[in-house]
Amino acid sequence: MIAQTPEPPYYAVIFTSLRTNVDAGYEETAVHMLQLAAQQPGYLGVESAREEAGITVSYWADLASIKQWKQHAEHLVAQQKGRDVWYAAYKTRIVKVERDYEWHKESSSQKDKNDKN
């Protein structure tokens, strides 16, 4: 599913990971973290995919909301478990989205939220 985000600017946290072979508790924790993140102030949406590498992009209204989520008590526990058990490596990138646009086959039109014409 593609997250429905507001008109830019907003922020994206891009979490790219390589997993270990340990699955115990991972799926349940991942689902819980997604549900918990969605309850946080400033949360806008999420997109995620996993093949060899996993990429999760969460969208946030501002940097303060991202910082609060990073420091959330349950999220801190999950982060530590990820480092100890589930991840072989990961990288987190935080970016400011200045422009976005979308296209839908059904409507065959492209919508650029920053195009004022």
Q: Are strands 43-50 and 87-97 parallel, antiparallel or unpaired?
A: unpaired
Domain carrying residue 54: 10-101
Residue 98 has pLDDT above 90, yes or no: yes
Instruction: Indicate whether this model's pTM tops 0.85.
Output: yes
* pLDDT score of 117: 46
Residue partners of 79: CB distance under 8 A and separation at least 6 = none
Q: Are strands 10-19 and 87-97 parallel, antiparallel or unpaired?
A: antiparallel
The pLDDT-based confidence of 10 (bands split at 50, 70, 90) is very high
Within a domain: residue 116? no
CATH number of the domain residue 84 falls in: 3.30.70.100
- What is the per-residue pLDDT across 45-96, written as a single tens digit (0 to 9) for each? 999 999 899 999 999 999 999 999 999 999 999 999 999 999 999 999 999 9
8 Å CB contact between 55 and 14: yes
Within a domain: residue 34? yes
* pLDDT score of 110: 66
Within a domain: residue 82? yes
How many separate domains does the chain show?
1
User: Strand pairing partners for 91?
Assistant: 16
For residues 43 and 12, give the distance between their C-alpha atoms in angstroms, rounded to a whole number.
10
Residues 91, 93, 97, CA angle at the centre, nearest 5°?
155
Residue partners of 31: CB distance under 8 A and separation at least 6 = none
Cis amide linkage into residue 9, ω under 30° from 0: yes
Within a domain: residue 113? no
- Which of 12, 16, 13, 31 shows the shortest CA–CA distance to 74? 31
